[in-house]
Chain A
């Protein structure tokens, strides 16, 4: 079974978010990066589990500049067999998807896994775009996936519940919580990762159909109003008269 796992990097979750002086770009100063949790914890680990069950290979792919190699090596340390980096600094989801699809097109992957969204821009678009470009079935927010070698059974999150479906032939998923449990790379994995192949391929330019004009910070809260625990009627009054939410 050949699985392609798409990984991206995101600012570490406790990062303080700031912008360049003219507010047109995200300030990377002092930011440390992690592999996007949905990619690492769920997509990658489930791919590895399926490979352990059926044999095969797991390839990690990232679209991004050379500094992303750290994240890619981590995917190799967790257990991916090999990796590809498409060398371009993508400006949009579509640019990422076009590059992944161009690579995957004739490689015969049985499945392509993405995380459900990146936790920085929360677009949740790349996986669906890859599927559309390659004309493959797509299941979003998959929290369970079994494969018997012929047919896959997927459970995906829908509003207020789950939907179960089967599919045979290639397909794309986005992975959500529950699909697998996080794996911490061990020393042996980290050592081996250094010798695993990481192929670098030139990227394709994609017409920029969306562009970020500016960033701003949300309005600060006014400060908390403390309410006496003995006086919940007062809280109810404030919620009704002041906040007007009930």
Chain B
């Protein structure tokens, strides 16, 4: 019996998501009196480092064909390792990769699955986890009844903690099905924390008047080291790229800090951001519905407030 976690290594590097999933698996293993084993697919720098977050062993399937993501390959590889180590709980991140394989893994392992889990399981009475439903308007407690359980872990839900040291790494080979797909290209922006992982997010809406004004939002985001986001109409009109669109029909996020400038706070927007720990709203309309969902509000023209906030933050960063 063991807990198996998939530690993603995009471009060979582990990010916070990998630390989170390993540490989550470690805590589940502590609870169930088993061990947490990490599986790593494709090239990865320092796989032994996953021991720091609680993995007792790392199964490294270093086959370079796993450097490109193919759903069927990833499912086959994780399934084989899961069977090999007798995993009863398998955890992946609720990331593009994790979400893509969760359902397929559940089918192939004949397991029950829950996606977007944001708490550790409670195992006193069955195996129960929680997740947000109805776009964050409610929380569901779900029991997994099957022997094998597959979960995807929502980012920023359970903080990773250093609990150990380097773990032994076993290099593994698996049999991959013949692929019918060919990955011909990848286009990713480096150096930016993807929205679902971001702890700090600066977001702006139609109140910005036009794409040419986004400099002040980027300046604020840069001082904070934050990721930028936007409301739906802003992405729809092409002012900002689609992947920045947050809300019910965009990305759902739960950063520590969400700063919203010139966004009215429509219910569909709130749906994707209301799990943020702290919300700051900058809007010149005192009636803007977003103020009701905010922790801090500034009711004034964003073209004055945003640069002033950036300056204050710069001073703060210099003196701290």
Interface set of A (CB-CB < 8 Å, partner B): 11, 13-15, 17, 19, 26, 37-38, 92-94, 97, 119-129, 131-133, 135, 137-141, 143, 153, 156-169, 171, 177-178, 208-218, 221-222, 224-229, 232-233, 235-236, 238-240, 243, 245-246
The CA-CA distance from A183 to B116 in the complex, in Å, is 30
Q: Can you list 21 A-B pairs, Cβ within 8 angstroms, ordered by A?
A: A14-B267, A17-B138, A121-B133, A129-B106, A132-B104, A137-B179, A141-B100, A157-B96, A160-B190, A164-B184, A165-B183, A209-B111, A209-B146, A211-B143, A212-B141, A216-B138, A218-B274, A224-B295, A229-B305, A243-B277, A246-B316
Which residues of B lie under 8 Å from residue A163 when comparing CB positions? 68-69, 183, 185-187
Which residues from A are CB-within-8-Å of B293?
221
Which residues in chain B, 102-146, are within 8 Å of chain A measured between CB atoms?
102-108, 111-116, 128, 132-146
Residue pair B139, A129 in contact (C-beta under 8 Å): no
Please state if A215 and B141 are interface contacts (CB–CB under 8 Å): yes
Bound-state CA distance A153–B181 (Å) is: 10
Q: Which of B280-320 contact A (CB under 8 A)?
A: 280-281, 291-301, 304-305, 308-309, 311-313, 315-316, 320
A128 touches B142 (CB 8 A): no
Contact B294 A224 (CB under 8 A): yes
The reply to whether B141 and A158 contact each other, CB–CB distance below 8 Å, is no
Nearest chain A CB to B72's CB is how many angstroms away?
6
Q: In the complex the two chains form, is A166's CB within 8 Å of B181's CB? A: yes
* Distance A126 CA – B105 CA, assembled complex (angstroms): 12
The CA of A19 and the CA of B108, in the complex, are separated in Å by 34
Complex alpha-carbon distance, A17 and B140, angstroms: 12
Minimum CB–CB distance from B163 to chain A (whole Å) comes to 23
| Separation of A225 and B292 alpha carbons in the complex (Å) | 10
> Which 8 pairs of residues, A with B, have the shortest CB-CB distance?
A161-B188, A209-B112, A128-B103, A229-B300, A132-B104, A125-B103, A132-B107, A129-B103
CB-based contact B296/A227 at 8 Å: yes
- Residues of chain A within 8 A (CB-CB) of B281 are 224
Stretch at the interface among B32-40, B43-51, B205-213, B245-253: B245-253
- Chain B proximity of A222: nearest CB distance (Å): 7
- B145 near A210 (CB under 8 angstroms)? yes
Given contacts A171-B181, A236-B316, 15 further A-B contacts (CB under 8 A): A123-B103, A124-B115, A159-B197, A162-B187, A165-B183, A167-B180, A177-B250, A211-B145, A218-B132, A218-B137, A221-B279, A227-B296, A236-B315, A239-B280, A243-B257
Contacts of A17 in B (CB 8 A): 134, 137-138
Provide the main secondary structure of the chain B interface: mixed
B182 and A213: CB pair below 8 A? Answer: no
Evaluate contact between B143 and A213: CB separation under 8 angstroms: yes
Secondary structure of the A contact surface, majority rule: mixed
**Interface range on chain B: under 10, 10 to 19, 20 to 34, or 35 or more?**
35 or more
Residues of A within 8 A of B69 (CB): 158, 163
Q: Which residues of chain B are near A208, meaning CB under 8 Å?
A: 145
With A157-B96, A210-B113, A217-B138 given, is the CB distance from A119 to B295 under 8 Å?
no
Who on chain B is nearest to A229 by CB?
B300
Q: Is the CB of A138 within 8 A of B71?
A: yes
Q: Are A240 and B139 in contact (CB under 8 A)?
A: no
Shortest CB distance B263–A (Å): 15
Contacting A226 at CB < 8 Å: which of B100, B104, B297, B315? B297
Which residues on A sit within 8 Å (CB–CB) of B257? 239, 243, 245-246
Residue from the list A139, A226, A236 in contact with B71, Cβ < 8 A:
A139
B146 neighbours in A (Cβ, 8 Å)? 209-210
Residue contact B142 to A211, C-beta cutoff 8 Å: yes
The answer on a CB contact under 8 Å between B297 and A224 is: yes
Min CB distance A109 to B, Å, is: 15
The reply to whether the CB of B278 lies closer than 8 angstroms to some CB of chain A is yes
- Whether the Cβ atoms of B142 and A218 lie closer than 8 Å is no
Residue of A nearest to B224 (CB): A246
Task: Tell me the minimal C-beta distance from A102 to chain B in angstroms.
Answer: 13
Whether B186 contacts A224 by the Cβ 8 Å rule is no
B101 at the interface (CB under 8 A from A): yes
Instruction: Report the Cα distance A124→B279, complex, angstroms.
Output: 27
Q: Are B275 and A218 in contact (CB under 8 A)?
A: yes
- Report the Cα distance A32→B234, complex, angstroms: 28
CB-based nearest A residue for B292? A224
With a CB–CB cut-off of 8 A, which chain A residues contact B80?
none
Asked if A158 and B299 sit within 8 Å, CB to CB, the answer is no
